[in-house]
Amino acid sequence: MKLSTLDKFNNIVIQMHDNPDADAVGSGFALYKYFKEKEKNVRLVYGGPMKIRKSNMLLMIEKLDIPVEYVDKLDKPELLITVDCQYGEGNVQRFEAENIAIIDHHNTGRESGEMEEIRSHIVSCATVCFDMLKDEGFDVNSDKNVATALYYGMFMDSNEMSELRHPLERDMLDCLKYDKKLIKKLIHNNFSIQEMETAGIALIRFNYDENKRLSIIHSKPCDPNILGVIGDMVLKVDSIDVSIIYNERPDGYKLSLRSCIPEIGVNDMVAFLTEDIGNGGGHYDKAGGFVSKKKFVEKYGEMSIETYFFNRVDEYYNQFEIIYSKDGIEDKSEFKLYEKLPYRYGFVKSEDITNGDEEVRLRTFEGDISITGSPDTYLMIGWFGGAYPISREDFERKYEVTGNTYEETFEYSPSVFSYKENRSKSIMPFARECIALPGSRVYARRIEKHTKVFGKWDYEKYMYGEIGDYLCISETDEHDIYIVKGDIFEKTYN
């Protein structure tokens, strides 16, 4: 759904969920400003059993001059937009309206309809709104209050930016020109005395697995960011490498994970813990997620959530092998030789997008990779818009340049962030077409056990392979070991 499809309505109410948080308020405020600019009659409201009481929220609303209204009834508006929530859910007071629109990022099993924009793979509703506003040509930085509200919304819903998982979120972080002094003040108004006590009690009542050097802690209900604070403190203990903190909410369980060892990336662990029953993501060392009570009961019945976490963690630790590319793989008896099919790919010479030897960040779905412009470094654009660096030598051995431009449309266009220009820019305008040459071959086997590969380009981080993916070894370089997703491998290799 595009925001402009709602421009036909004049009497608009934007509704946040009950007891709205920073993400709901920031998202709602940005939408309010958009419709105000369109000269619509618009209100920003919430209902529920109580008014906003948290000190950081009251400060945010006051300092950013956000026209939030607490209401218990509404005259039937022409259009009601629920933001950071979905109409009909338990945490949203029901108001009648002639038309309903939904803008959200929570996974409730509902798919986007004609007047709905639900992106459950995005960490915050503020990010969804940022992208929708950008598509309409609305400059969020034209009003510093709007930019600050959107930033704080994503900051709070991503556990202080530790759970960012999509390139769009990192683009938003680079783009926003927000009030840094106010953000700092909001951060230092986030906890109450009662929440400090909650953190202290949680630290006392911990469970510990000596063999895994892992702690699982059940906290009392609290702001999600307090879970991250607890996790950071736990990792300071000399005998703990990984921590999982969780608490209960009316609709499910919020998780915060931390790791200080390269072999355990908690972005993968949280995805494993929430598989089919929620969602999660983040970075190697910090991640977060959510488990839906409804989906949990449907799949696991009467099992307690604590038992589930302990069982599932055991499965996670027992279900993967670790491979270090620098050590190579001695036994290749289960590997077969595959040839890459002559499909079209995109490539970019790094020099074309940098000013000489300028350093930029290549923005990928797996995270950012720092590269320096060089005649010897190219960027490949693969299936689904995935981008990765390749040496010029490897490129010329494996691909033939066709001379055509490369024009494809992806969900997210691959980009780089320029430190010098302080902005993100798409690499697609610089992309040219190439075709895989005959004889471009790899040894590969289907993964039957989850696998972590510390690859050639970065020994500090691993690639994660799930069952059905392929473990690949370059025919010409035994230390070039990597993972290819199963569906992509089967389409591109023979």
Instruction: Say whether pLDDT at 111 is over 70.
Output: no
Residues 100, 106, 111: CA angle, nearest 5 degrees: 60
**pLDDT above 80 (res 29):** yes
> Residues with Cβ < 8 Å from 469, sequence gap 6 or more?
446, 447, 451, 483, 484, 485, 486, 489
Residues 230-261: tens digit of each pLDDT? 888 888 888 999 999 999 888 899 888 999 88
Residue 368 has pLDDT above 90, yes or no: no
d(CA 269, CA 322) in angstroms, rounded, equals: 15
Residue 361 pLDDT > 60? yes
Q: What local confidence, expressed as pLDDT, does residue 108 receive? A: 59
Q: What is the mean pLDDT of residues 45-63?
A: 90
Q: What is the mean pLDDT of residues 453-457?
A: 74
Give the residue among 28, 285, 14, 48 at the shortest CA–CA distance from 153.
28
Helical pair 305-318 and 293-300, crossing angle rounded to 10 deg: 70
Q: Is the pLDDT of residue 477 over 70?
A: yes
Backbone dihedral angles phi then psi of residue 172, each to the nearest 5 degrees:
-60, -40
From residue 113, give the alpha-carbon distance in Å to each of 68, 73, 127, 241: 27, 26, 19, 43
Q: Tens digit of pLDDT for each residue in 257-287?
A: 999 887 788 878 888 899 899 877 666 777 7
Average confidence (pLDDT) over 139-160: 92
Among left, alpha and beta (phi > 0; psi -120 to 50; other), residue 337 is: beta
Range with the poorest average pLDDT among 53-67, 392-406, 447-461: 447-461
Q: Tokens 């309409």, residue?
A: 136
Q: Who wins on pLDDT, 382 or 401? A: 401
pLDDT at 112: 62
pLDDT in the model for residue 245:
92
Longest dimension (CA), the chain: 73
**pLDDT > 90: percent of the chain:** 41
Mean pLDDT score, 145-174: 86
Round the average pLDDT of the chain to a whole number and report it.
86
* CA–CA separation, 221 and 201 (whole Å): 12
pLDDT value of position 3: 93
Across the range 318-345, mean pLDDT stands at: 85
Q: Are 446 and 468 in contact (CB under 8 A)?
A: yes
Name the burial class of residue 212, with classes exposed (0-12), middle (13-18) and buried (19+) by CB atoms within 10 angstroms of its CB.
middle
- What confidence score (pLDDT) does residue 461 get? 67
- Give the Cα separation of 150 and 127 in Å (integer): 8
Encoded amino acid at 37, one letter: E
Between β-strands 377-381 and 367-372, what pairing exists: parallel, antiparallel or unpaired?
A: unpaired
Query: What confidence tier does 22 reach under pLDDT thresholds 50, 70, 90?
Result: very high
In angstroms, the CA 264 to CA 426 distance is 32
Write down the pLDDT at residue 285: 79
Residue 109 has pLDDT above 60, yes or no: no
Look at 393 and 121; give whichever has higher pLDDT.
393
- Give the separation between CA 267 and CA 265, rounded to whole angstroms: 5
Which range of 64-78, 307-321, 330-344 scores highest in mean pLDDT? It is 64-78
Long-range pairs of 474-479 with CB within 8 A, sequence gap ≥ 24 = 474/442, 475/337, 475/441, 475/442, 475/443, 476/397, 478/328, 478/329, 479/325, 479/326, 479/328
- Indicate whether 176 pLDDT > 90: yes
Cβ–Cβ < 8 Å for 350, 373: yes
CA distance 68 to 70: 7
For residue 366, pLDDT over 60 is answered with: no
The phi-psi region of residue 314 (left if phi > 0; otherwise alpha if psi is between -120 and 50; otherwise beta) is alpha
Q: Note the pTM of the prediction, 2 decimals.
A: 0.58
8 A C-beta contact, residue 125 and residue 157: yes
- Residue 107 — pLDDT band, cuts 50, 70, 90? low
Mean per-residue pLDDT, 128-152: 95
d(CA 210, CA 27): 43
Q: What is the pLDDT of residues 211-229, one digit of tens each?
A: 999 999 998 887 766 787 8
Q: How confident is the model at residue 69 (pLDDT cuts 50, 70, 90)?
A: very high
pLDDT at residue 422 is higher than 80: no
Domains of the chain (ranges, CATH numbers):
3-187 (3.90.1640.10), 193-318 (3.10.310.30), 336-492 (no CATH)
Q: What does the pLDDT read at residue 273?
A: 93
pLDDT at 5: 93
